Amino acid sequence: MKNKIFFSVVIISFLIIFFVLFKGLQNTNIYTPQVDIKKDIPYFEAKLFDSDIVKNSNEIFQKEKFYLLNIWASWCAPCRDEHPILLELKDQVNLEIIGLNYKDNIINAKKFLKELNSPYRLTLSDENGIISIEWGAYGVPETFLIYNKRIIKRYVGPLNLNSIIEIKKFIE
Protein backbone atom coordinates (compact mmCIF):
# COMPACT_ATOMS: atom_id res chain seq x y z
CA MET A 1 0.00 0.00 0.00
CA LYS A 2 2.80 2.39 1.01
CA ASN A 3 4.64 1.54 -2.19
CA LYS A 4 1.59 2.27 -4.30
CA ILE A 5 1.18 5.72 -2.74
CA PHE A 6 4.87 6.41 -3.17
CA PHE A 7 4.88 5.47 -6.86
CA SER A 8 1.67 7.42 -7.49
CA VAL A 9 3.27 10.54 -5.96
CA VAL A 10 6.40 10.06 -8.07
CA ILE A 11 4.42 9.58 -11.29
CA ILE A 12 2.17 12.58 -10.57
CA SER A 13 5.25 14.74 -9.81
CA PHE A 14 6.88 13.73 -13.08
CA LEU A 15 3.66 14.37 -14.97
CA ILE A 16 3.43 17.89 -13.48
CA ILE A 17 7.07 18.60 -14.36
CA PHE A 18 6.55 17.22 -17.86
CA PHE A 19 3.41 19.33 -18.34
CA VAL A 20 5.11 22.55 -17.18
CA LEU A 21 8.16 21.97 -19.39
CA PHE A 22 5.98 21.03 -22.34
CA LYS A 23 3.98 24.25 -21.90
CA GLY A 24 7.26 26.15 -21.73
CA LEU A 25 8.29 24.71 -25.10
CA GLN A 26 5.35 26.47 -26.71
CA ASN A 27 6.37 29.87 -25.33
CA THR A 28 8.27 32.12 -27.67
CA ASN A 29 11.92 32.70 -26.85
CA ILE A 30 11.97 35.92 -28.83
CA TYR A 31 11.95 39.11 -26.81
CA THR A 32 8.52 40.70 -26.89
CA PRO A 33 8.57 44.17 -25.41
CA GLN A 34 5.73 45.40 -23.23
CA VAL A 35 3.66 47.95 -25.10
CA ASP A 36 1.21 49.01 -22.40
CA ILE A 37 3.75 50.49 -20.08
CA LYS A 38 2.68 53.22 -17.75
CA LYS A 39 5.76 54.74 -16.22
CA ASP A 40 7.47 58.09 -15.84
CA ILE A 41 9.62 59.29 -18.67
CA PRO A 42 13.36 59.11 -17.99
CA TYR A 43 15.30 62.29 -17.36
CA PHE A 44 17.67 63.04 -20.19
CA GLU A 45 19.55 65.85 -21.86
CA ALA A 46 19.96 66.01 -25.61
CA LYS A 47 21.44 68.32 -28.18
CA LEU A 48 19.09 69.79 -30.73
CA PHE A 49 19.52 68.08 -34.05
CA ASP A 50 20.81 71.11 -35.98
CA SER A 51 22.51 73.17 -33.28
CA ASP A 52 24.55 72.87 -30.12
CA ILE A 53 21.69 73.89 -27.83
CA VAL A 54 21.07 71.31 -25.12
CA LYS A 55 17.53 70.67 -23.88
CA ASN A 56 16.43 68.48 -21.00
CA SER A 57 13.32 66.33 -20.70
CA ASN A 58 11.66 68.70 -18.20
CA GLU A 59 11.84 71.56 -20.70
CA ILE A 60 10.72 69.44 -23.64
CA PHE A 61 7.69 67.80 -22.03
CA GLN A 62 6.58 70.65 -19.77
CA LYS A 63 3.16 71.44 -21.28
CA GLU A 64 0.00 69.69 -20.22
CA LYS A 65 -0.63 68.05 -23.58
CA PHE A 66 0.13 64.83 -25.39
CA TYR A 67 3.56 64.24 -26.83
CA LEU A 68 4.72 61.67 -29.30
CA LEU A 69 8.42 60.85 -29.08
CA ASN A 70 9.46 59.22 -32.32
CA ILE A 71 12.88 57.54 -32.58
CA TRP A 72 14.01 57.57 -36.20
CA ALA A 73 17.00 57.48 -38.49
CA SER A 74 17.52 58.26 -42.16
CA TRP A 75 19.10 54.81 -42.71
CA CYS A 76 16.00 53.02 -41.41
CA ALA A 77 13.61 51.97 -44.17
CA PRO A 78 10.52 51.44 -41.92
CA CYS A 79 10.98 55.04 -40.69
CA ARG A 80 10.37 56.18 -44.26
CA ASP A 81 7.18 54.04 -44.34
CA GLU A 82 5.75 55.55 -41.17
CA HIS A 83 6.62 59.13 -42.09
CA PRO A 84 3.28 59.95 -43.83
CA ILE A 85 1.49 58.84 -40.64
CA LEU A 86 3.54 61.22 -38.53
CA LEU A 87 2.80 64.00 -41.01
CA GLU A 88 -0.90 63.24 -40.67
CA LEU A 89 -0.66 63.53 -36.88
CA LYS A 90 1.40 66.72 -37.08
CA ASP A 91 -1.61 69.07 -37.15
CA GLN A 92 -3.43 67.58 -34.17
CA VAL A 93 -4.12 70.39 -31.71
CA ASN A 94 -3.43 68.52 -28.51
CA LEU A 95 -0.32 66.72 -29.73
CA GLU A 96 3.31 67.63 -30.21
CA ILE A 97 5.67 65.34 -32.04
CA ILE A 98 9.28 65.22 -30.89
CA GLY A 99 11.83 63.45 -33.05
CA LEU A 100 14.86 61.66 -31.65
CA ASN A 101 17.38 61.09 -34.40
CA TYR A 102 19.15 57.79 -33.63
CA LYS A 103 22.81 57.22 -34.53
CA ASP A 104 22.57 59.05 -37.80
CA ASN A 105 24.66 61.01 -40.21
CA ILE A 106 23.46 64.59 -39.83
CA ILE A 107 23.67 65.37 -43.56
CA ASN A 108 21.61 62.30 -44.48
CA ALA A 109 19.11 63.08 -41.72
CA LYS A 110 18.66 66.65 -42.94
CA LYS A 111 18.18 65.39 -46.50
CA PHE A 112 15.57 62.91 -45.23
CA LEU A 113 13.54 65.66 -43.54
CA LYS A 114 13.92 68.04 -46.49
CA GLU A 115 12.71 65.39 -48.90
CA LEU A 116 9.79 64.07 -46.83
CA ASN A 117 8.93 67.16 -44.76
CA SER A 118 9.39 67.33 -41.01
CA PRO A 119 6.53 66.33 -38.68
CA TYR A 120 8.60 67.27 -35.62
CA ARG A 121 8.21 70.38 -33.50
CA LEU A 122 11.62 69.62 -32.07
CA THR A 123 14.26 67.22 -33.31
CA LEU A 124 16.83 65.94 -30.85
CA SER A 125 20.00 64.08 -31.54
CA ASP A 126 20.96 60.72 -30.02
CA GLU A 127 24.46 60.30 -31.41
CA ASN A 128 25.48 57.17 -29.51
CA GLY A 129 22.07 55.66 -28.79
CA ILE A 130 22.21 56.12 -25.02
CA ILE A 131 19.06 58.26 -24.81
CA SER A 132 17.06 55.60 -26.64
CA ILE A 133 18.35 52.99 -24.20
CA GLU A 134 17.27 55.24 -21.29
CA TRP A 135 13.77 55.12 -22.82
CA GLY A 136 13.92 51.34 -22.98
CA ALA A 137 13.82 51.34 -26.77
CA TYR A 138 15.56 48.63 -28.71
CA GLY A 139 15.59 49.83 -32.27
CA VAL A 140 14.20 52.21 -34.84
CA PRO A 141 11.50 53.17 -35.43
CA GLU A 142 9.92 53.26 -32.01
CA THR A 143 7.34 55.72 -30.71
CA PHE A 144 6.18 56.67 -27.23
CA LEU A 145 2.92 58.44 -26.44
CA ILE A 146 3.39 60.68 -23.41
CA TYR A 147 1.05 62.63 -21.18
CA ASN A 148 1.97 64.49 -17.99
CA LYS A 149 5.53 63.18 -18.22
CA ARG A 150 4.28 59.59 -18.20
CA ILE A 151 4.50 57.05 -20.98
CA ILE A 152 0.99 55.93 -21.89
CA LYS A 153 1.66 53.71 -24.85
CA ARG A 154 4.63 52.40 -26.75
CA TYR A 155 4.70 51.50 -30.45
CA VAL A 156 7.51 49.17 -31.42
CA GLY A 157 8.20 49.25 -35.14
CA PRO A 158 6.59 51.57 -37.69
CA LEU A 159 3.28 53.27 -36.92
CA ASN A 160 0.37 52.13 -39.07
CA LEU A 161 -3.23 53.17 -39.74
CA ASN A 162 -4.44 51.44 -36.56
CA SER A 163 -1.89 53.40 -34.57
CA ILE A 164 -3.32 56.69 -35.92
CA ILE A 165 -6.82 55.70 -34.84
CA GLU A 166 -5.57 54.68 -31.42
CA ILE A 167 -3.48 57.83 -30.91
CA LYS A 168 -6.38 60.05 -32.00
CA LYS A 169 -8.63 58.26 -29.53
CA PHE A 170 -6.14 58.92 -26.74
CA ILE A 171 -5.77 62.62 -27.47
CA GLU A 172 -9.43 63.43 -28.05
Partner 1 sequence: MKFLKYILIIIFLFNLNLSNANENNSHSKITKNLRCLICQGQSIHDSDSEFANSIKILVSKKLNDGLSEDQIYILLKEKYGEWILYDPGFNKNTYFLWLLPLLMFIIGGAIILKIFIIKKN
Chain contacts with partner 1 (rule: CB under 8 A): 3, 6, 10, 13-14, 17, 20, 29-31, 33-34, 102-103, 128-130, 132-136, 138-139
Nearest approach, Cβ of residue 66 and partner 1 (Å): 22
Shortest separation between residue 25's beta carbon and partner 1, angstroms:
14
Tell me whether residue 19 or residue 48 sits nearer to partner 1 (CB atom): 19
Closer CB to partner 1, residue 103 or residue 168? 103
In angstroms, give the least distance from the CB of 171 to partner 1.
26
Q: How far is the CB of 15 from partner 1 (least distance, A)?
A: 12
Complex with partner 1: residue 34 or 160, whichever CB lies closer: 34
Extended beta strands in the chain, E state? 39-40, 45-48, 54-56, 66-72, 95-102, 122-126, 142-147, 150-156
Alpha helices in 27-72 (DSSP H): 57-60
Q: Is 12 helix (H, G, I), strand (E, B) or coil?
A: helix
Nearer to partner 1, 89 or 144 (CB): 144
Instruction: For the sheet with 95-102, list strands across it.
Output: 39-40, 150-156, 142-147, 66-72, 95-102, 122-126, 45-48, 54-56
Angstrom distance (rounded) from CA 12 to CA 51: 68
